[in-house]
Structure 1
Amino acid sequence: MTTADHEAQATPAVSGAPAEQWHTAEELAAARVRFEAAVPGWQVPAAFGMGIAARRPGEGGLADPADAASPGSPADPADPADPADPADEEDGDDGTVFPVANAGGAALSAIVLATACGHTGGTAAYALTPDQVRTAIALLSPAEAYTAVPHPNMAAWRGILNDITDVGDDVAYAVAVFVADLADPVVDRHDAALRAAVAEARGAG
């Protein structure tokens, strides 16, 4: 399957305002069931999140089909989370920030993000196009009608979209990371950044 084929399957068509609104906890739960039913064998990941990654020197743009970080494909597979990486030492961190690091919850947001990027299970990281970020936002936006709880992922995803739109693809891009089990091997620097954010949040709690 080509990258273009994968992208076409990974990004559902979404246009205009959401046709429905989920006003109750029961409606949110029903929406989650519908999304999960479309992904056979789906299991809620131990951790997940959408982040924004600084593009490193020599890291190709998302428009380049030969780029390892092409949208809808695993992000930076040739760039493992190696603590000895000179770029990591120079930056002082891995260059990927997760405004919200979800662990042990937010199941609806998890399946919505997975739907937007084509993730079906396991531990993986994906580079996202702005359109894929918009798709995730559009798919989850009906949940905002339920005002009894906050929606931190919606706020985070909108912020990421604004940031990558403002600075441009040559500076930064969005990533989605899913960790099926925190005991799984780290797949790349984005995965490492998410796990670090989860650990920090747990320590602060």
Structure 2
Amino acid sequence: MTEQWDTPDKLAAMRDATEATVPGWRRPALWAVGISAASSEPEWEFPCVNRGAGYLPAVVLGRLVRHSRTTETLPVSAEVLRRAVDDLSPAEACTLVDHPNLVAWRWLLGEIESNPARDLVVVYVDDLDDPVSSEADGELRAAASGEPA
């Protein structure tokens, strides 16, 4: 993706066009990329929680991890996250909006490089009434609601 998306309208058009390339795509109610704790504890950190938002980054990464709908937790390699950053980076040409997912993803890549024992996942929650799919999913929902996990 080499073109610059320098307006909110171009971002929306790119989101819609990318969504159209993923069969069965449905925008998640909640989603985020998480990283495992730096300790042996089964805890997850989500630097950018997207509830009813962030649909362009959601579909850019979703296409790479083969997600289209449903509630699920998927592993993400550093290589895949790097590619998602590259694919999404033309969005930074639009300075009228913040790009918190790109900021978070770059931070996550730095964390993985400094401690490769940590794991990355992406959690997609199709419907908030769906059963929790993993510990990471439960922690994401707690973070989104402001409740402790």
- TM-score when normalising by structure 2: 0.92
What's the offset of the Cα at 1:56? Answer: 7.7
* 1:192 paired residue number: 138
User: In the alignment, is the contact (CA less than 8 A) between 1:46 and 1:181 conserved in 2?
Assistant: yes
Among residues 13, 22, 31, which one is paired with 1:30 in the alignment?
13
**What is the identity, as a one-letter code, of the residue corresponding to 1:117?**
V
What's the offset of the Cα at 1:101? Answer: 0.8
Q: Does 1:133 align with 2:116?
A: no
* 1:48 paired residue number: 31
Q: Please, which runs of 5 or more residues in structure 2 have no aligned partner? A: none
* 1:106 paired residue number: 54
What's the offset of the Cα at 1:39? Answer: 1.1
Return closer, same or farther for 1:125/1:56 CA change in 2, 3 Å cut-off: farther
The number of equivalent residue pairs is 147
* 1:62 paired residue number: none
* 1:172 paired residue number: 118
Q: Which runs of 4+ in 1 moved over 3 A?
A: 54-57
User: In the alignment, is the contact (CA less than 8 A) between 1:55 and 1:173 conserved in 2?
Assistant: no
Return closer, same or farther for 1:56/1:124 CA change in 2, 3 Å cut-off: farther
What's the offset of the Cα at 1:43? Answer: 1.2
Secondary structure of the equivalent of 2:119? Answer: strand
Q: Please, which runs of 5 or more residues in structure 1 have no aligned partner? A: 1-17, 58-90
Which string of whole-angstrom CA distances, capped at 9 and with x for unpartnered residues, describes residues 106-152 of structure 1? Answer: 11111112112111110001111110110111111111000011111
* 2:63 paired residue number: 115
RMSD of aligned alpha carbons:
1.6
User: In the alignment, is the contact (CA less than 8 A) between 1:48 and 1:176 conserved in 2?
Assistant: yes
What's the offset of the Cα at 1:55? Answer: 7.5
User: In the alignment, is the contact (CA less than 8 A) between 1:123 and 1:178 conserved in 2?
Assistant: yes
- TM-score when normalising by structure 1: 0.68
Residues 52-91 of structure 1: matches in 2 within 5 Å? 52-54=35-37, 91=41
Aligned-pair identity in percent equals 41
Among residues 149, 158, 178, which one is paired with 2:106 in the alignment?
158
